[in-house]
Amino acid sequence: MQKNSLNKVLLVGRLGAEPEARYTSAGIPVVSFSLATNELWKQKNGEFAEKVEWHNIVIWDKLAEAAQKSLSKGLLVSIEGKLQTRSWENKDGQKLKTTEIVCSGFILLEKK
pTM for this one? 0.87
In a domain, 4, yes or no: no
What CATH number is associated with residue 99? 2.40.50.140
> 18, 23, 19, 51: which is closest to 37 by C-alpha?
51
What stretch of H or E contains 87?
A: strand 76-89
Q: Which domain covers residue 47, as residue numbers?
A: 9-108
Please give the Cα distance from 16 to 109 (Å, whole number): 15
For residue 94, is it within any domain? Answer: yes
**Number of domains the chain contains:** 1
Walk along the chain (112 residues) and give the pLDDT tens digit of each residue: 678 899 999 999 999 999 999 999 999 999 999 999 999 999 999 999 999 999 999 999 999 999 999 999 999 999 999 999 999 999 999 999 999 999 999 999 998 6
Distance CA 89, CA 12 (A): 32
According to DSSP, the residues that pair with 10 across neighbouring strands are: 80
